[in-house]
Amino acid sequence: MTTTATEFTVAAWPDCPPRLLRPGQTGAQSYAEYTRDGGYLPLLDAEELLVQVDLSGLLGRGGAAFPIGTKLRTVHDAHRRGSDTVVVANGEEGEPASIKDRWLLRHRPHLVLDGLRLALAVAGASRGFVYVSDPAAAEAVAAALADVPAETFGAAEIALVTVDAGYVAGEETAAVRRINGGPAKPTDKPPRPFEEGVHGLPTMVSNVETLAHLPYIHQHGAQQFRAVGTPMSPGTFLATVTGGGRPPALYEIPHGAAVSELLDVHGVPADAVTGVLMGGYFAGLVNTDILDATLDHESIRRLGSGLGCGALSLLTDECPVAVAASVMSYFDNENAGQCGSCFNGTAAMSAVTSALRDGNATDEDLTRLERWSVVLRGRGACGTLDGATNVAASLLRQFPQVVARHLSGDCESCRSGAFHQVRPYEVEAIAQS
């Protein structure tokens, strides 16, 4: 149990031994503790480890769910062609409703560094970076790096890079741009970092939770990694759960677990849930159809949404229109201000959803919102505009009756005061006590 401003729970999943979490871990796990638990094992042949990562089916845990084996092999092949390469452990957790990366960096920094070590070896990289915004995470990583014997990373040099927190700062091209000395703002693609990244070199940028799975694969192999999960979504993932009138919690869940089971574990009655804000803010809203779903990429995609970074915010008394308006306002405030389509598009969609929440929108406003949710998709340099279009489209598609009640000024949930938050479902309580 953790306590700062609010109570915060870290818990394993029933009948599923945790691979990443250590419930009850106070402070940062030391080098001695981590090695005693089997960390920093002598490296297997790099080619064989790459084969095992491919076979594991490990998907990125940062939001896009891209196969890590494919990304790693691309940079590995660049090294074999004679290029120097770079690996970046991306711990800039831009989603306010997510806590997993900060928890790992604060409490299990050696697990992340071990994963970075293995990725460096497979990629043949001479340089590695740990990219973070959370000051406590940076402190834990710096202390861990000081404890690791110099030979642990072979000939690779490791640097810690800090950045001011921001929704766009964790986007992979923003990370590269910041490490190269520029602002932490996204750049147009192509080139992508695996083609031309840090210092112009092929660069693998990988979320820290993704890297934290590599030591398990290294020690136990792909088959054991796939012993839990589903064929298309193997292994476990870290889920930040907020809302529902309960304290925030971080769970390590096997892919394929039922949403209904998560609600039981979290202590929220299913009949109290009216919807979920999925994947942090990015994947949009889902109605009560989520109650019959399982927590894997294929099941959530069938609902027109996504797991994203694994954050789930439960809606009970909150009106989905008001939640959407708060999220859209956040996107409007957090966009990088570089792309006209995003700068203007997030502002326009925020204005309509706020007007809808306040009972001032018209049918013409909703027609424009629906059109923008389609034509603006994919037009920004990063995912901010896509996140905004996801929220708009999912609100209109998943909650048409609630939208209609707002048009007529008859929303019972908002009558006594609508949901208003600058950073809805933000999780701040992460320090162990």
Q: Residue 240 in contact with residue 312, Cβ under 8 Å?
A: yes
- Tokens at 150, concatenated: 């110099």
User: Which pTM does this prediction carry?
Assistant: 0.95
By CB atoms closer than 10 A (0-12, 13-18, 19+), residue 109 is buried
What CATH number is associated with residue 75? 3.40.50.11540
Q: What is the pLDDT of residues 169-228, one digit of tens each?
A: 999 999 999 999 999 999 988 899 999 999 999 999 999 999 999 999 999 999 999 999
Helix (H, G, I), strand (E, B) or coil at 355: helix
| pLDDT higher than 50, residue 125 | yes
Q: What one-character DSSP code corresponds to residue 272?
A: G
The answer to whether residue 54 is domain-embedded is: yes
Answer for the pair 17, 87: CB distance below 8 angstroms, yes or no. no
Kind and range of the H or E run holding 313: strand 311-315
Task: Tell me, yes or no, whether 304 lies in a domain.
Answer: no
Does some domain include residue 93?
A: yes
- Per the structure, the complete domain to which residue 212 belongs is given by 24-225
Same structural domain for residues 214 and 82? Answer: yes
Q: Round the average pLDDT of the chain to a whole number and report it.
A: 94
Q: What pLDDT was estimated at residue 15?
A: 95
Which pLDDT value is given to residue 392?
Answer: 98
**Contact in structure between 427 and 8 (CB atoms under 8 Å):** yes
pLDDT for 432 equals 41
- Residue 34: its pLDDT value, please? 97
Q: Does residue 433 have a pLDDT over 60?
A: no
Q: Are residues 325 and 209 in the same domain?
A: no
Q: Which of 160, 190, 225 finishes a domain? A: 225
Cα–Cα distance between 60 and 38 in angstroms, integer? 24
**CATH code of the domain containing 355:** 1.20.1440.230
Residue 137 belongs to some domain of the structure: yes
| pLDDT tier at 25, thresholds 50, 70, 90 | confident
Residues 6+ away with beta carbon under 8 Å from 396: 366, 369, 370, 373, 403
Residue 430 has pLDDT above 60, yes or no: no
Whether a cis peptide bond, with omega within 30° of 0, leads into 424 is no
- Whether residue 285 lies inside any domain: the answer is no
User: Rounded to an integer, what distance in angstroms lies between the CA atom of residue 48 and that of residue 212?
Assistant: 18
pLDDT-based confidence at 380, cuts 50/70/90? confident
pLDDT digits (tens, 9 = 90+) for 49-92: 999 999 999 999 998 899 999 999 999 999 999 999 999 999 99
Dmax (CA) of the chain: 68
383 part of a folded domain: yes
Residues making up the chain, counted from first to last:
433
| Beta-bridge partners for 193 | none
Residue 429 pLDDT = 54
Residue 127 pLDDT greater than 90, yes or no: yes
Report, as an integer, the average pLDDT of 229-246: 97
- How many domains does the chain divide into? 2
Question: 10 in a domain, yes or no?
Answer: no
Q: Is 191 exposed, middle or buried (0-12, 13-18, 19+ CB in 10 A)?
A: middle
pLDDT of 383 > 90? The answer is: no
Given a cut of 70, whether residue 244 has pLDDT beyond it is yes
Q: Name, in order, each residue with C-beta under 8 angstroms of 420's C-beta and a sequence gap of 6 or more.
A: 322, 326
DSSP string, 147-190: HS-GGGGTT-EEEEEE----TTTTSHHHHHHHHTTS-S----SS
The pLDDT, as a whole number, for residue 326 is 98
3 pLDDT band, cuts 50/70/90, is: very low
- In this predicted structure, what is the pLDDT of residue 6? 53
Spatial CB neighbours of 283, under 8 Å, sequence gap ≥ 6: 300, 305, 306, 307, 308, 387, 390, 394
162: pLDDT strictly greater than 70: yes
- Residue range 276-290, pLDDT digits in tens: 999 999 999 999 999
Query: What is the DSSP-derived secondary structure letter of residue 65?
Result: -
Q: Which amino acid belongs to residue 416? A: S
The per-residue pLDDT for 431 is 45
Q: Which of 104, 288, 84, 100 is nearest to 196 (CA)?
A: 84
Per-residue pLDDT, 122: 96
User: Rounded mean pLDDT of 8-28?
Assistant: 92
Q: What is the pLDDT of residue 209?
A: 98
- 204, 329: one domain: no
Do 364 and 372 meet the contact criterion of CB atoms below 8 Å apart? no
Beta carbons of 97 and 327 less than 8 angstroms apart:
no
Q: Is residue 2 scored above 50 in pLDDT?
A: no
Distance CA 113, CA 158 (A): 10
In a domain, 154, yes or no: yes
Q: Where are the alpha helices (DSSP H) in 310-383?
A: 320-334, 340-357, 363-375
